Amino acid sequence: MTRPFLTNPPARRLFLDRHLLLRPGSGSGKGHDLETVLDGLGFVQIDSVNTLARAHDLILWSRRGQYRPSALETLVARRRTGFEHWTHDAAVIPMRFYPMWRLKFERDEARMRKRWPAWQRDGWQDELETILKHITDHGAVSSLDVGENEEKKSSGWWDWHPSKTALEFLWRSGRIAVCHRRGFRKYYDLPERVIPQEYLSVRLEDAEIVDWAMSEALERLGFATSGELSAFFEIASRDEAKAWCAAALASRRIVEADIEMADGARRRCFTTEAKLDRAASLPAPSSRVRILSPFDPVLRDRARAERLFGFRFRIEIFVPEAKRTYGYYVFPVMQGDRPIGRLDARRVGQAIRVRAFWPEAGERIGKARRAGLLAEIERIGKLAGNTSVEFLEDWMRA
């Protein structure tokens, strides 16, 4: 039987629709509306780099222009409708997903016990029970509150003192939970003091969790290979993902389709009949020019984004300055369903300083598109708390 074929333009639209970027969002960006956005995305990656706005804030602002950073902290620390843990990296995740993370806690603990002794400082395993007792007796702590007599100088991001390592281990294994942040510093407490009982008490079989993870990943990606589905939440293993796809295909829960990539190549993916029907009826994308976080979910899988959009994007933070193609922390810029360039901008005092904009090859920056870019820079100033915009000479690299 001939497989369905989805050409590149509707494939892009389906992917952007699943990531809440096809049309402008008009919600408040707080409370229940923000919870709806988080649920739709599946998670929002957290990152500490703050040249213009933190990654999680920019991701949410891109979907809700009224969003402000305090709304996410309220969701996690007060409403308790989101929790912090890991997908492929640190993230805020809808609280209703917490029961499914128990499998991740278990598997992460096994991996950490196997790998961490070889690359973490000695002594962290001896601190586990001490820290748990301290939290039980005294309440929430940060890494500053533990390891009083330890050497805390670090040679890098992952060179933690033993008590900090123990905290991260306990968090990753689900034995403690992030209750709030101050600035960007995490504070941890016992799960029963953080996670609502209706989610804390749920126990599911591993097979149920794998089925949920695969189904929900496909819902948010629109179409994907088994490997891409496994990587979305990083709960199901690659082998479990392959087995799930085979069983779901046999039972006709999913179908195979050929998806056209930006270069015209066809990639066989799994999807559903409903999503193929939806792709055919989606409207044209919004014409708004959008500044995205380098960690935006649309770009999270860099290889997938390159195949689908013809957009090769790499973060150059760890590239020596002389070898950078663009800059330290450059923002992707999209219009409609296509990447149109990259922006180097950052906060300097009360201003946004625009250092450079590089159009993508073949993209013309005429008057209308330039005006759209300037309007987006002005809009992002409200998120970043800036009052003016400065442009360096020759910032437009067209």
Which pTM value belongs to this model?
0.94
Tokens of 282: 């989606």
Length reported for the chain? 398
Q: Contact at 8 Å (CB) between 105 and 174?
A: yes
Looking at residue 153, what is its pLDDT?
59
Looking at residue 92, what is its pLDDT?
98
Other beta carbons less than 10 A from residue 396's beta carbon? 14
Looking at residue 292, what is its pLDDT?
97
Looking at residue 86, what is its pLDDT?
96
Looking at residue 374, what is its pLDDT?
96
Looking at residue 117, what is its pLDDT?
83
Looking at residue 147, what is its pLDDT?
76
Which secondary structure element, helix H or strand E, spans residue 106, and what is its range? helix 101-119
177-182 vs 266-271, strand pairing mode: unpaired
**348 beta partners:** 351
Looking at residue 193, what is its pLDDT?
98
- Mean pLDDT, contiguous 10-residue spans, the chain (398 residues): 93 97 90 98 95 95 95 97 96 98 97 85 87 96 84 56 91 97 95 98 98 98 98 98 98 98 98 97 94 96 96 92 92 96 95 96 95 96 90 93
